[in-house]
């Protein structure tokens, strides 16, 4: 009897701990633990301040759609001065918001692109009580693609560009049926799957084993957010992707390990390129080597479009 009581007590504590893990990682809340993580680079220099000032000086239009499950999703929409039908959808990272992609928004707008910067579900100004890690977001981004095609017409040419969780989001989106207006996908420092990155982070950040914590937390996630960690896989989605893909990763990324870029690259069945910035940490490739980043991105887009991009 004492043994049984002990087992029940241990099981209860384990479930409660996994509920705490869910609230920390998946539930919509401030992710204070990220600021204490040594694997997350602290980036704040004059370029970041300058691009923030640029962002707040722009006259953005507010865009809004409704997701398949009834959430109101919001985005910033910005047209270039000279007009055009080339567009980019920018996908931000974990616990972020659309405006975090301002450095990319400026880059694309200066080259004649329309820029759409969504706040993913559970982030920023969009509805939602949980983080989808790209899985539920993939269908949201299909809706954003439809929004642009309807607005810009059949001649639109669309690029998907995401960083970190946003990189995983655009890869997972790529596995969905997409219209011909989507010409290519650029994924920067993405993970292979939610299960894979959480297994890595449990060990890296907290020195904890994935079993039995991850299976239990995954079940809680299924009950509360509607998905298992194992099903949220960029690797699996890439099997169905027919769009050209450029993978970018930092050679010194210890938050999402660089080897995940190699695994993703091997999983891509169609046209693909890979750029590793040797000295870059997580999400900093565009700052560490902006020349190589810009050259690779523009060359890749031009090849995917089939002709020179406007003002490239």
Q: State residue 34's pLDDT score.
A: 75
pLDDT grade for 253, boundaries at 50, 70 and 90? very high
* Closest C-alpha among 151, 207, 160 to residue 184: 160
Q: State residue 31's pLDDT score.
A: 84
Q: Is the pLDDT of residue 10 over 80?
A: no
For the chain, what is the domain count?
1
The rounded distance, in Å, linking the Cα atoms of 173 and 190 is: 13
Does a structural domain hold residue 3? no
Does a structural domain hold residue 188? yes
pLDDT grade for 208, boundaries at 50, 70 and 90? very high
Q: Is the pLDDT of residue 1 over 70?
A: no
Does a structural domain hold residue 23? no
pLDDT grade for 40, boundaries at 50, 70 and 90? low
User: What secondary structure letter does DSSP report for 189?
Assistant: S
* Closest C-alpha among 115, 230, 100, 118 to residue 169: 118
Q: State residue 183's pLDDT score.
A: 98
pLDDT tens figures, 92-146: 999 999 999 999 999 999 999 999 999 999 999 999 999 999 999 999 999 999 9
Q: State residue 311's pLDDT score.
A: 41
Report the CATH number that the domain containing residue 275 is assigned in CATH: 3.40.50.1820
Q: State residue 33's pLDDT score.
A: 73
pLDDT grade for 3, boundaries at 50, 70 and 90? low
* Closest C-alpha among 262, 197, 270, 267 to residue 235: 267
Does a structural domain hold residue 107? yes
Q: Which domain holds residue 289?
A: 79-193+232-306
Does a structural domain hold residue 125? yes
Does a structural domain hold residue 146? yes
Q: What is the mean pLDDT of the chain?
A: 94
This prediction has a pTM of 0.94
Q: Is the pLDDT of residue 310 over 50?
A: no
Does a structural domain hold residue 140? yes
89 sits in the region (left: phi over 0; alpha: psi -120 to 50; else beta) called beta
Structure tokens at 183: 């010409």
| Edge-to-edge order in the sheet of strand 61-66 | 61-66, 72-78, 114-118, 86-91, 157-163, 182-188, 245-250, 272-277
- Give the mean model confidence (pLDDT) for residues 199-223: 95
pLDDT tens figures, 57-96: 999 999 999 999 999 999 999 999 887 899 999 999 999 9
pLDDT grade for 24, boundaries at 50, 70 and 90? very high
């Amino acid at each position: 009897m004492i043994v049984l009581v002990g087992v029940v007590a241990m099981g209860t504590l384990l479930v409660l701990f996994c509920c705490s893990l869910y609230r920390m990682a998946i539930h919509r809340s401030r992710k204070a633990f990220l600021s204490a993580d040594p694997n997350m680079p602290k980036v704040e220099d004059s370029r970041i301040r300058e691009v923030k000032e640029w962002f707040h000086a722009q006259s953005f239009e507010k865009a809004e759609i409704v997701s398949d499950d009834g959430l109101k999703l919001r985005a910033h929409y910005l047209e270039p001065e000279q007009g055009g039908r080339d567009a980019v959808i920018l996908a931000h990272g974990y616990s972020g918001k659309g405006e975090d992609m301002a450095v990319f928004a400026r880059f694309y707008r200066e080259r004649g692109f329309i820029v759409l910067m969504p706040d993913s579900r559970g982030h920023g100004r969009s509805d939602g009580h949980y983080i989808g890690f790209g899985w539920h977001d993939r269908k949201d981004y299909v809706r954003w693609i439809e929004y642009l095609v309807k607005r810009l017409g059949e001649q639109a040419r669309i690029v998907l560009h995401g960083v970190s969780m946003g990189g995983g989001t655009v890869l997972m989106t790529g596995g969905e049926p997409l219209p011909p207006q989507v010409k290519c996908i650029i994924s920067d420092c993405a993970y292979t799957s939610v299960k894979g990155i959480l297994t890595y982070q449990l060990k890296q950040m907290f020195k904890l084993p994935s079993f039995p914590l991850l299976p239990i937390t995954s079940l809680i996630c299924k009950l509360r957010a509607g998905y298992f960690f194992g099903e949220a896989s960029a690797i699996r989605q890439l099997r169905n992707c027919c769009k050209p893909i450029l993978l970018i990763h930092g050679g010194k990324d210890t938050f999402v390990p660089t080897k995940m870029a190699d695994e993703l690259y091997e999983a891509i069945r169609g046209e693909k390129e890979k750029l590793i910035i040797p000295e870059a940490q997580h999400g900093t490739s565009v700052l560490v080597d902006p020349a190589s980043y810009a050259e690779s991105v523009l060359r890749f887009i031009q090849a995917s479009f089939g002709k020179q991009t406007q003002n490239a």
